[in-house]
Amino acid sequence: AQSVAQPEDQVNVAEGNPLTVKCTYSVSGNPYLFWYVQYPNRGLQFLLKYITGDNLVKGSYGFEAEFNKSQTSFHLKKPSALVSDSALYFCAVRALGGATNKLIFGTGTLLAVQP
């Protein structure tokens, strides 16, 4: 069965420091991997995705993520955090070839960036 794990409920980082939000996945077959961000009382905004190709994917707002097949991970990163990056981040996975194309979400990681 497909699953996604976000091991940290919350990540705290000082403004200007690099940030990492962790995600690991479990699928049979090749995965599609996604990151979304949610601000309070809003819907989810798409940040970036990995389909195939380069393991380092660049997305919106200066975020990037690295696909690591051997470690089944897709960690979200940013070189220099901003206070405005504070939000809830979701990792999601969909297996290629599935009949339903369902997207499975992690439980979310709250990123808090201190000024």
Binding stretches for another protein (CB under 8 A): 9, 32, 34, 36, 41-46, 49, 51-52, 90, 94, 96, 100-103, 105-108
| Complex with another protein: residue 14 or 96, whichever CB lies closer | 96
CB of residue 85 vs another protein: minimum separation in angstroms?
A: 19
Q: Are 8 and 91 in contact (CB under 8 A)?
A: no
Q: Which residues fall within 8 angstroms of residue 43, CB to CB, at 6 or more apart?
A: none
CA dist 45 and 85 (Å) reads 13
Residue 40: CB minimum distance to another protein, A: 11
**What is the nearest approach in angstroms of another protein to the Cβ of residue 112?**
16
When the beta carbons of 32 and 86 are compared against another protein, the nearer one is 32
φ/ψ of 60, rounded to 5, equals: -75, 155
Q: Which residue has the tokens 């808090």?
A: 112
In the bound state with another protein, the residue whose beta carbon lies nearer, of 9 and 115, is 9
Q: Nearest approach, Cβ of 103 to another protein (angstroms)? A: 6
Q: Which of 98, 113, 110 is nearest to 39 (CA)?
A: 110
